[in-house]
Every structure is written in C-alpha cells, then in structure tokens.
Structure 1
Amino acid sequence: MGFERGDIVEILNKEEGLKGSYYPANIISRVSNKDYIVQYRTLLEEDGSGPLREFMSTDRIRPTPREIVADAFRLSEVVDAYDRDGWWVGKVIGKTGSKYVVHFKGTGEKIAYPLDRLRVHQEWDWKNGVWYFG
C-alpha cells in the first residue's frame, strides 16, 4: 500500500516502554517505495521547536482506522485508549462512574478513561491492506 503527501496515518512505536502504541502523523514525502518522511501530529522535536519529523519505513505506517461510533464498551472488550499523545491497546476490566477502567498488559497499569478517549480496537492487515476486528 502506498501513501500520498498529506495522508493522515498512524505510526507504530517499537521503542521499549512505548512498544505497540500508535501515534497520529502526516505523510510529508515519499523517499522510496518503502520509506517516507512523516510529521507527527502530537509529538514535538526534543527542543520543542515544532512537530517531530522522522524517516519511517512502511512496516510501521498504517492508515488511520475507520471511525466507529461506540456509546459503551463491554467488560473484557479490547479497546484503544488515547493517552500520552498516542493510542494504546488495552482491555476493559471495569467501570467507575462514567469512566472505563482499562488494563494494559505490557505495563500492568489500570487507568480509568472517559468514553471520548476510547475507540473500538481494530487490527490492520499489513499484507492485504484491510482493517479487521482483532
């Protein structure tokens, strides 16, 4: 799958402690068939001078998931939670008031989120270029 300048995408983070999280970005330019320059929508350069830009290979770039409106989530449902400038995969383990308590397997953290910071979890099939529910 190819991307065009200006496409809104998500970038997979593989760094320790951030592994498996996705960050919104825009395609700035294509460098080769498998490489792009991306500019993050939520991350800044270390000196704070502007949005972070990085060289990125296609195996870490996916389109933004289609929007699915959810008015509630079930216990044990896998969701994406927006936190620390990106999307993190977790599982709903409870509810406290109007917030959903999400458990993150990788860190062991349990954090409560309002509905507007959660989305339906979808997996990107890198080979076939389609979304599916995982």
Structure 2
Amino acid sequence: MAVFKVGDRIEVCSKEQGFIGSYYEATIVSKLSDGSYRVRYKNLVEENDHSRLLIEQVSSDEVRPMPPRIIEGKGTQFYSVLDKVDAFDNDGWWVGIVTGKDDFKYWVYFETTGDHIAYPVSRLRKHLEWSNNGFWVLPKKSLLS
C-alpha cells in the first residue's frame, strides 16, 4: 500500500452507497496517527458553505495516487467497445464501459448505477487499476451480461 505525504495529489475512492465506482481528486492535508488521512477535495465543497472546499478524513484503503494520463497517438481511435473508462461527471471520475460511439461522443454504461450516458472524449480517460504491488495496470475488457 502506498504511503502519501502532505501535499500529494491523490484520488479518493468513494465507498458510499450511490457513489461506488467513483474517484474524487484531492490533496493530502495531513496523515493521522491511525494511518488515515485528512484530504482536501479539488471539486467537492462543504454542504453548508459552497465557497469552501470539503476537507474530510478517509481511510488509507480509500486513497490511491493520481493515475498517469495516457495520450493516444494521432489518427488512432481513442476507445473501443467494452473498454473500461473513467468518465468525469458530478465532480468525480466514474468507472464505466464503452458501449458505442456516436459522432463525437462515446456511450458509456455504468454497472453501479445502470446509467447509459454519452460523453465527449475530453471527459473520458482510460481506466487504470492501482495494484497492491504499487503499479498501474490496464483492466481486462469487460463482459456485459
């Protein structure tokens, strides 16, 4: 498991019902004695004061480094059907599966919510998984049932 220091940019994986499969960008504010972290979110704000970024305590198993950006070569197709992608929506990155392409948008299906939404390529990134040995790996293609 990775150890982070104050100022590191990370992502927090939500384990709350309705938010499973989503990742939110944040910065480490402090490391607590129990191994958890206090983080300041980049896009989430306090419920009672929308001018203040949300700061909260998260467990170490909810934190991962920022994934590297994968740049596609010129003239290549960005995504294929059944590719796992992250789509930026509702202030975070949501894991979904590409189901098709329509003009300049990709259709993405979200298994956790049942939603099927079209996104421009600018709001998508290849989904990478953080492995226990400290490396980013591409997932296998999904099999939609």
What TM-score do you get using the length of structure 1 for normalisation? 0.95
Q: Following the alignment from structure 2 to structure 1, what is the Cα–Cα distance between the partners of residues 52 and 114?
A: 32
By how many angstroms is 1:32 displaced?
2.2
Q: Following the alignment from structure 1 to structure 2, what is the Cα–Cα distance between the partners of residues 107 and 56?
A: 23
Task: Tell me what 2:143 maps to.
Answer: none
Amino acid at match of 2:123: R
Amino acid at match of 2:64: R
Spell out the pairing of 1:1-134 with structure 2 (5 A cutoff): 1-32=2-33, 34-47=35-48, 48-70=50-72, 72-125=78-131, 127-134=132-139
Q: For 2:32, what is the secondary structure of its paired residue?
A: strand
Q: For 1:116, what is the secondary structure of its paired residue?
A: helix
By how many angstroms is 1:116 displaced?
0.6
What TM-score do you get using the length of structure 2 for normalisation? 0.88
Worse overlay, 17-26 or 70-79: 70-79
Q: Following the alignment from structure 2 to structure 1, what is the Cα–Cα distance between the partners of residues 15 and 56?
A: 14
Q: Following the alignment from structure 1 to structure 2, what is the Cα–Cα distance between the partners of residues 72 and 2?
A: 33
By how many angstroms is 1:75 displaced?
1.1
> Which stretches of structure 1, 4 residues or longer, exceed 6 Å deviation after superposition?
none
Q: Following the alignment from structure 1 to structure 2, what is the Cα–Cα distance between the partners of residues 101 and 34?
A: 39
Q: For 1:32, what is the secondary structure of its paired residue?
A: coil
By how many angstroms is 1:33 displaced?
5.7
Sequence identity percentage: 47
Q: Which runs of 5+ in 2 are unaligned?
A: 140-145
Q: Following the alignment from structure 2 to structure 1, what is the Cα–Cα distance between the partners of residues 34 and 5?
A: 12
By how many angstroms is 1:130 displaced?
1.3
More strand by share: 1
Q: How many pairs are equivalent? A: 133
Q: Which runs of 5+ in 1 are unaligned?
A: none
By how many angstroms is 1:21 displaced?
0.6
Task: Tell me what 2:142 maps to.
Answer: none
